[in-house]
Amino acid sequence: MSWIDSFARHLGSERNLSPRTVEAYTGDVAQFISFCERLGISEDSPGHIGVGAIRKFLSMLQSRGMSASSVSRKLSSIRSYLRYLAREGAIESNPALTMSRARRPRRLPRGVRRGGGKRLLWGAGGGSPPAP
């Protein structure tokens, strides 16, 4: 059984995650493993995965226009996978622990529409606004 298969089993049975979450995590990890293989790091030797490979992967995702929240989720999946490998003794330590998450841009709240302010204030007082 491959490491990713045993990781998927771990997510489903031990962590009791939903099938869709398991699918998302394993999809993220499979994409990362494929990227690592292009760098010459085999799935059979996960101990060769380092911070550099993770950074290159995240940089590639960002250069392709992936949102910060999606990149952050992929990093979370990779962290979880590497934590699992460390727990199972396949790697000595988790290189992803030293990495910070991508910052998501802050968005301003939407403003109140014209005329909505009066309704908002009247509603706070328990009454209903007068007809326009």
Token match 């990781």: residue? 7
Give me the pLDDT at residue 101, please: 63
Q: What is the CATH number of the domain that holds 26?
A: 1.10.150.130
Give CA separation, 1 vs 7, 44, 84, 91, 118, in Å: 10, 11, 15, 17, 64
- What are the angstrom distances between the C-alpha of 54 and each of 16, 49, 120? 27, 8, 48
Has residue 124 been placed in a domain? no
- Residue position matching structure tokens 């869709």: 20
Residue 131 in any domain: the answer is no
Distance CA 24, CA 38 (A): 22
Q: How many domains does the chain have?
A: 1
Summarize pLDDT for 16-54 with one digit per residue, the tens. 999 999 999 999 999 999 999 999 998 888 889 999 999
Is residue 101 packed enough to be buried (19+ CB in 10 Å), middle (13-18) or exposed (0-12)? Answer: middle
Question: What's the pLDDT score for residue 109?
Answer: 77
| Host domain of residue 62 | 3-103
For position 125, what pLDDT does the model report? Answer: 59
pLDDT beyond 80 at 102? no
Q: Tell me, what's the pLDDT at 103?
A: 59
pTM (predicted TM-score): 0.74
Whether residue 57 lies inside any domain: the answer is yes
